[in-house]
Structure 1
Amino acid sequence: MTGRGDVLITGLGLVTAAGHDAESVWKTMAAGRSLARKDPGLADLPVDIACAVPDFDPAAELGIRLAGRLDRFAHLGLVAARRALIDAHLDMTALRPERVAVVLGVGANSLQTYVKEFTRLGEGRARSVSPLGLPRSVPNMIAGEIAIDTGARGPNFTVSSACASGATAIGVARDLLLSGACDIVLTGGSESARSRMSAASFAQMRALSTRTEHPEQACRPFDTDRDGFVLGEGAAVLVLEHPDHAHARRATIRARLCGYAASADAHHPTSPHPQGLGAEQAVRQALADAGCAPRNVGHVNAHGTATPAGDAAEALALLRVFNGAPPPVTASKSVIGHALGAAGAIEAALTVLALERQEVPPTANLAQQDTGYEMDIVTARPRPVAMDLALSTSCGFGGQNAALVFAAP
């Protein structure tokens, strides 16, 4: 490959509906069964199902005081960051803190807090609005809180490109490393989409699956009978490192990030381009950035939300890029739901794990693909695949797309 340059993944942390660490997450993903369930927090809404992170105790993880001043999206992201640092065997006190950056993707912010505080304001109780209402919910605070927690003093910010945010953050982090601005970036995404406002709004848009009586069958990416996604939550943080720095400390290399690109559909606020032109552009440019051809890619972790228009557009894009025969595809949201701004980061981490294990986890709930959109989608059980390169795709409202190309060490 003769691309622009690789950066190395030396650690990762995951907190998802499938588990709180890489091993448990992979085991659950390999089972290929949806984790969607009735969500008590969404009771009485038109769609009351979601994929929640189970058995997650913020106070036990972070301490009562810190957990008390943070919202759930920050709880998830901060725990994922701590686990990523442990996985990378990094001691922040031994690093140059000004050379450690934090770049996180967040699609929205904590709508739970905003709804509560706006309700107080609307009821004329301005003096009861919490002074933490803003600092605990604005999107950039997850990057700021990770810096406070770790002492990282390099570039620090969040990016927001809707459901492509996590993937965009990872791409921007690579750019920072290649520019020489830092040696290490903690990057990924964090989001809790299980707010009543999100559920009500997405339901009104007809974006959510309405299979509320059989939630485990609800999310059906690329299936002819798909009717929308299931809300999820979670966080993934990757430790990206400049090769010189990683080699100097003899770090264990989990994978290489060798290609990234982003694009815009310039078509519609919420609907993708019907031919998937923006997604296709992002994938082609990411492959060019990696200096590889489509035939070199051994696996695709697709955006795959199970919306009728979104899946069709993405399938068309992939079929064109791969000349009608994409490599084995999986759609992780079928199992863990759609974590919105964190989805691209979680799927990037799963792509790294697929490369490590040389197998592709299955897609849940796929019975029959649409005629004209058929791809080699892995179902039922993990499939062993010999691969050197894997691709992860993400798309979002506003017609924003991102693609990441990962390589084995």
Structure 2
Amino acid sequence: MPATTAQTTSDVAPSPAAATLARKPSSSVVITGLGVISPLGNTPGDLLEGLRSGRSGIAEFTQIPLGAYCTSHGAEARGFTGDIKDYGPLEKPMQRTIKKGSKVMCREIEMGVASAQLALHDAGFTTEKFDRDRTGVLFGSDYIMSLPEEYAEGIAACIEDGEFQFSKWGQQGLPKISPLWLLKYLPNMPASHIAIYNDLRGPNNSLTVREASSCAAIAEATSTIMRGHADALVVGATGSRVHPLRTLHASTQEQLAADREDPTEMSRPFDASRDGSVLGEGAASMLCESREHAEARGANILGEVIGYGTSAAGESAGPRPIQIAIANALRAAIRSAQSRGHGDTPIGHIHAHGLSDVGCDRDEAAAIVDVFGDASSQPPVTTAKGHFGNLGAGSGMVEIISSLMSLGSDLFAIRNLDKLADDCPIRAVTGSNVAAGDSFIKVNVSPQGQAAAVWIRR
């Protein structure tokens, strides 16, 4: 066999700029571009306007059968159709590439890729200003479920006398399934598609820790850039709980809000009358860069990640693992900021998980009290979930963008918080005249007790 002549990465000499940055860790990590797909709109401006005006994204389902589940309402990203226009301004070759790739992208992955393309455009990404070998992707997601119709024809081929015959599956059923079906649902595919479409050859990673994925992705991206392993990373998350099987899972495993005459009142974070979470879908991305790289290319810096923390607490940790995990993540984010000289930065507000679940809201409020003291000493606390419920892994990133866009002006109130629950003693934002401040801490947690938090300032 002849020796291979393929050139390895180590054989390629880095550019002078790349070599310099590789040897010198970054002083800080900044945010330079945003992209969002949400029930309140597909631009950061539309998202913020919807939150400030009190608009709700919760309505009757259009993607799944009505009457088949314990709820008939949720927050769909109705403005996202999957059309190439939803991906933002693109050159014709890129449009053709994404259109071709859409054949192996489910809706969840499409939303994530679209949000990333929007963020890259917003950041002014060009091949001249970025070293592709040092630009990568770090993306979060839920576990992504296949649609039942993917298997329908194969299953039908194995039915005999009204019963499914397993012995026929290999020869008669499996050939009816598209050989590429799995590519539509693998949770690492958002990061893969984004990297391939944009030829981003730097660090690439996928995180699947449900609702904690967004903050965990920012934490990992910040650490990667701070170590000098990359100049820039597309960081995002996508999620959907509006899905024939995922909605079924949620309705059997979680406490969902009951349908109301006015569905926009179903999601009620920290309210005394809350009775469960609301299902939604969405995705969001940002471009994170080392400060040195962003300033060298004259980027518009939107914010800086100054701290982050993660934690996981299971039943063995005690009777309230959610409280422990959230408190740990918050303290870790604060310690992280302190270790980098940002300990004196005032916290303008806390963007809570705010699930509207009775137990989760109680435990989150207890964690906030544990870390920050009683309501009189806490920063203002808000959450966007009253407007659109739980977007799964996409929630955190959509919520982070909403808080980032609010800095330096007024904060949006918690929708449907009419009477603060006695077991949620937080400094809840219920009016429109509360300043967002110049920094915020965002925290999210999964039902399994995985929590992540980030501290961002403008």
- Give TM-score scaled by structure 1 length: 0.92
The yes-or-no answer on 1:13 pairing with 2:63 is no
In the TM superposition, what whole-angstrom CA distance separates every residue of 1:324-372 from its partner, at most 9, and x where no partner exists?
A: 13211111111122111111111121221122x4221111111111224
1:150 corresponds in structure 2 to 198
Alignment partner of 1:359: what SS?
coil
| Aligned partners of 1:209 and 1:230 also within 8 Å | yes
| Aligned partners of 2:274 and 2:358 also within 8 Å | yes
1:57 to 55, 74, 81: 81
Give the greater-gyration-radius structure (CA).
2
Matches of residues 372-391 of structure 1 in structure 2 within 5 Å?
Answer: 372-380=423-431, 382-385=432-435, 387-391=437-441
2:420 to 369, 373, 377: 369
1:342 to 391, 394, 403: 394
The yes-or-no answer on 1:277 pairing with 2:324 is yes
Could you say which structure has the greater relative contact order, defined with CA pairs below 8 angstroms and 6 or more residues apart? Answer: 1
In the TM superposition, what whole-angstrom CA distance separates every residue of 1:203-249 from its partner, at most 9, and x where no partner exists?
A: 12242111254311100000111111111111110110001101111
In the TM superposition, what whole-angstrom CA distance separates every residue of 1:365-389 from its partner, at most 9, and x where no partner exists?
A: 1111122422222225x33416232
Judge which range, 278-287 or 63-72, deviates more: 63-72
2:368 to 292, 315, 318: 318
The Cα shift of 1:132 comes to 2.1
In the TM superposition, what whole-angstrom CA distance separates every residue of 1:381-403 from its partner, at most 9, and x where no partner exists?
A: x3341623211001003210001
The yes-or-no answer on 1:330 pairing with 2:382 is yes
The Cα shift of 1:118 comes to 4.2
Q: Return the alpha-carbon distance in structure 1 between the equivalents of residues 40 and 128 of structure 2.
A: 32
| Aligned partners of 2:322 and 2:445 also within 8 Å | no
In the TM superposition, what whole-angstrom CA distance separates every residue of 1:263-299 from its partner, at most 9, and x where no partner exists?
A: 0112279x98267111101101101101155982110
| Aligned partners of 2:58 and 2:73 also within 8 Å | yes
Letter in 1 for 2:259: R
The Cα shift of 1:59 comes to 2.5
Q: Return the alpha-carbon distance in structure 2 between the equivalents of residues 30 and 93 of structure 1.
A: 38
Letter in 2 for 1:204: T
2:149 to 106, 116, 127: 116
Q: Return the alpha-carbon distance in structure 2 between the equivalents of residues 358 and 287 of structure 1.
A: 23
Query: Aligned pair in 2 of structure 1 residues 225, 30: CA closer, same or farther (>3 Å)?
Result: same
Alignment partner of 2:287: what SS?
strand
1:220 to 264, 268, 281: 268
Q: Name structure 2 gaps, 5 residues minimum.
A: 1-25, 88-94, 159-172
1:43 corresponds in structure 2 to 66
In the TM superposition, what whole-angstrom CA distance separates every residue of 1:296-326 from its partner, at most 9, and x where no partner exists?
A: 2110110011000100000011112111132
1:286 to 326, 333, 355: 333
| Aligned partners of 1:220 and 1:365 also within 8 Å | yes
Alignment partner of 1:405: what SS?
strand
| Aligned partners of 2:355 and 2:390 also within 8 Å | yes
Q: Return the alpha-carbon distance in structure 2 between the equivalents of residues 264 and 126 of structure 1.
A: 39
Q: Return the alpha-carbon distance in structure 2 between the equivalents of residues 6 and 406 of structure 1.
A: 11
Letter in 1 for 2:177: V
In the TM superposition, what whole-angstrom CA distance separates every residue of 1:157-184 from its partner, at most 9, and x where no partner exists?
A: 2101121111111111111101111000
Q: Return the alpha-carbon distance in structure 1 between the equivalents of residues 183 and 443 of structure 2.
A: 31
Q: Return the alpha-carbon distance in structure 2 between the equivalents of residues 5 and 321 of structure 1.
A: 28
| Aligned partners of 2:313 and 2:322 also within 8 Å | no
1:173 corresponds in structure 2 to 221
The yes-or-no answer on 1:238 pairing with 2:238 is no
Query: Aligned pair in 2 of structure 1 residues 274, 147: CA closer, same or farther (>3 Å)?
Result: closer
2:91 corresponds in structure 1 to none
Alignment partner of 1:134: what SS?
helix
Q: Return the alpha-carbon distance in structure 2 between the equivalents of residues 342 and 131 of structure 1.
A: 28
Matches of residues 73-92 of structure 1 in structure 2 within 5 Å?
Answer: 73-92=108-127
Q: CA RMSD in A?
A: 2.2
Identical positions, percent: 28
The yes-or-no answer on 1:28 pairing with 2:76 is no
Q: Return the alpha-carbon distance in structure 2 between the equivalents of residues 227 and 119 of structure 1.
A: 36
| Aligned partners of 2:135 and 2:231 also within 8 Å | yes
| Aligned partners of 1:31 and 1:362 also within 8 Å | no
Q: Name structure 1 gaps, 5 residues minimum.
A: none
Letter in 2 for 1:165: S
Query: Aligned pair in 2 of structure 1 residues 228, 165: CA closer, same or farther (>3 Å)?
Result: same
The Cα shift of 1:34 comes to 2.5
Aligned length: 400
| Aligned partners of 1:282 and 1:402 also within 8 Å | yes
Alignment partner of 2:222: what SS?
helix
Query: Aligned pair in 2 of structure 1 residues 18, 179: CA closer, same or farther (>3 Å)?
Result: same
